[in-house]
Chains A and B, each alone.
Chain A
């Protein structure tokens, strides 16, 4: 099994190093405009949030997969994990606010020993929507996970799963040998109990991200291809396909630098900057929480160690919706990833 950058003591596992790369070089020398420079003329600096609708909780960086593009640098060797006490603080926030969605991510969120407790408690307090970002293969990784599809259904969970392509080779190259076959098996299990099937309200969405240093294509067209191919070859159905742009963070940044694609990729992101996408960036309606209870403007900022600004209260113990909705969002050059083309977010395109 490939080791995480952290376990390799790779210099890019250090967030300060990553942030320096994103600020120096082509941006430091002025060959490309910084993200701030790009949004200033649009009167979008400082970038401000709208109403917070999504509470995205990263319950730990442990994962059964080691995907080559992973911005979390997740893997079996990552031990960071959220405790039940921290989960309780999240539940208290959900209970006392009008935030609609609890969005659980990781790593593989299901590997947190308190994952099921968390989901059940969220249901009990009446959270309107619970999303689990499942990598699919976890369902088959160990007999103790085999009943996850039933657990999801029982708790009315919306399942959002990564599947970068509808054929094995591209998927396995990015996510690991055999991942595609297992993902198909897991999708079959989910379909069998009603997920993604017409006439049920059990939602199963798929996430596409490019298998390299290029941008995602048109979301609607890719969704049509995915539906046709997955249905035709494997009898699989799903609801929506979300296209997500790879952001230059952690393993994807390492890939870009190692393969000498970094500058060209950043040029492409900047050239594809879409002012309309700035309006819909997910940091406007999302708060991201790490395993320790600290808050970030998004999961990407979390992986770069960029907490929400101090005045907004940085820990969920100090959660104050008003302060958070008045904060300035922390930006750097990776933000270009969410504003390129049709834009990108955990819910797919935004423009």
Chain B
């Protein structure tokens, strides 16, 4: 067993998950590949969404992969940072909007 939970080298071994369950892995990676193909959204837009989600779920593998991928797709540094701010706004907002719940309760309890 390795000494740390995360090893950058493990990212390259992602496909190895097929070793324990090939059928489901195949379904997942086929689906994954299709998701990121250019569709109604461009491949670059999808990459930026993936980058934002990577920060929301704080997945180091994903941040590593989608930083490179965004650069490859021609995203600018400003676009990439704006994507991270979208994450931050939603995460922050998700906490803050619960403030309404707190206020409701306060108002119910208070005279």
Q: Identify the A interface with B (CB < 8 A).
A: 165, 167, 169-170, 210-212, 214-218, 221-222, 225, 267, 271
Cross-chain contact A217 with B73 (CB below 8 angstroms)? yes
Chain B residues with Cβ below 8 Å from A215 are: 72
Cross-chain contact A221 with B38 (CB below 8 angstroms)? yes
Q: Identify the B interface with A (CB < 8 A).
A: 12, 38, 42-44, 68, 71-74, 76-77
Cross-chain contact A222 with B74 (CB below 8 angstroms)? yes
Chain A residues with Cβ below 8 Å from B76 are: 167, 169-170
Chain B residues with Cβ below 8 Å from A211 are: 71
Cross-chain contact B71 with A210 (CB below 8 angstroms)? yes
Among B42, B43, B71, B74, max chain A CB count under 10 A is at B74
Chain A residues with Cβ below 8 Å from B44 are: 217, 221, 225
Cross-chain contact B12 with A214 (CB below 8 angstroms)? no
Cross-chain contact A216 with B71 (CB below 8 angstroms)? no
* 8 Å CB contact of B71 from A167, A169, A212, A267: A212
Separation in Å of the A93 CB from the closest CB of chain B?
Answer: 39
Chain A residues with Cβ below 8 Å from B12 are: 267, 271
Q: How far is the CA of A170 from the CA of B70 in the complex (A)?
A: 14
- Identify 15 residue pairs between A and B in the complex whose beta-carbon atoms are under 8 Å apart, listed by A's number: A165-B74, A214-B71, A216-B72, A217-B43, A217-B44, A217-B72, A217-B73, A217-B74, A218-B73, A221-B42, A221-B74, A222-B74, A225-B44, A225-B74, A271-B12
Cross-chain contact A210 with B43 (CB below 8 angstroms)? no
A214-B68, A221-B43 given; name 4 further pairs at CB < 8 Å.
A165-B74, A169-B76, A170-B76, A214-B71
Nearest 7 A-B pairs (CB), nearest first?
A: A217-B72, A217-B73, A214-B71, A214-B68, A214-B72, A222-B74, A217-B74
The B interface, classified by DSSP as helix, strand, loop or mixed, is helix
Chain B residues with Cβ below 8 Å from A271 are: 12
Q: How far is the CA of A222 from the CA of B74 in the complex (A)?
A: 7
Chain B residues with Cβ below 8 Å from A267 are: 12
Q: How far is the CA of A170 from the CA of B71 in the complex (A)?
A: 11
Chain A residues with Cβ below 8 Å from B38 are: 218, 221
Q: How far is the CA of A215 from the CA of B69 in the complex (A)?
A: 9
Cross-chain contact A210 with B73 (CB below 8 angstroms)? no
Separation in Å of the A19 CB from the closest CB of chain B?
Answer: 27
Chain B residues with Cβ below 8 Å from A222 are: 74
Chain B residues with Cβ below 8 Å from A165 are: 74
Separation in Å of the B37 CB from the closest CB of chain A?
Answer: 10
Separation in Å of the B13 CB from the closest CB of chain A?
Answer: 12
Chain A residues with Cβ below 8 Å from B73 are: 217-218, 221
Query: Chain A residue with minimal CB distance to B38?
Result: A221
Q: How far is the CA of A99 from the CA of B29 in the complex (A)?
A: 46
* 8 Å CB contact of A218 from B43, B68, B71, B77: B43
Q: How far is the CA of A167 from the CA of B74 in the complex (A)?
A: 11
Q: How far is the CA of A169 from the CA of B12 in the complex (A)?
A: 31
Chain B residues with Cβ below 8 Å from A225 are: 44, 74
Q: How far is the CA of A211 from the CA of B70 in the complex (A)?
A: 13
Separation in Å of the A285 CB from the closest CB of chain B?
Answer: 27
Chain B residues with Cβ below 8 Å from A210 are: 71-72
Q: How far is the CA of A69 from the CA of B42 in the complex (A)?
A: 28
Separation in Å of the B65 CB from the closest CB of chain A?
Answer: 11
Q: How far is the CA of A179 from the CA of B43 in the complex (A)?
A: 29
Q: How far is the CA of A222 from the CA of B71 in the complex (A)?
A: 12
Query: Chain B residue with minimal CB distance to A264?
Result: B8
Q: How far is the CA of A169 from the CA of B74 in the complex (A)?
A: 13
Separation in Å of the B46 CB from the closest CB of chain A?
Answer: 11
Chain B residues with Cβ below 8 Å from A169 are: 76-77
Separation in Å of the B95 CB from the closest CB of chain A?
Answer: 34
Q: How far is the CA of A225 from the CA of B47 in the complex (A)?
A: 15
Separation in Å of the A136 CB from the closest CB of chain B?
Answer: 20
Separation in Å of the A173 CB from the closest CB of chain B?
Answer: 10
Chain A residues with Cβ below 8 Å from B42 are: 221
Q: How far is the CA of A64 from the CA of B76 in the complex (A)?
A: 27
Q: How far is the CA of A118 from the CA of B74 in the complex (A)?
A: 37
Query: Chain A residue with minimal CB distance to B72?
Result: A217
Q: How far is the CA of A222 from the CA of B38 in the complex (A)?
A: 13
Q: How far is the CA of A271 from the CA of B14 in the complex (A)?
A: 13
Query: Chain B residue with minimal CB distance to A212?
Result: B71
Separation in Å of the A298 CB from the closest CB of chain B?
Answer: 24
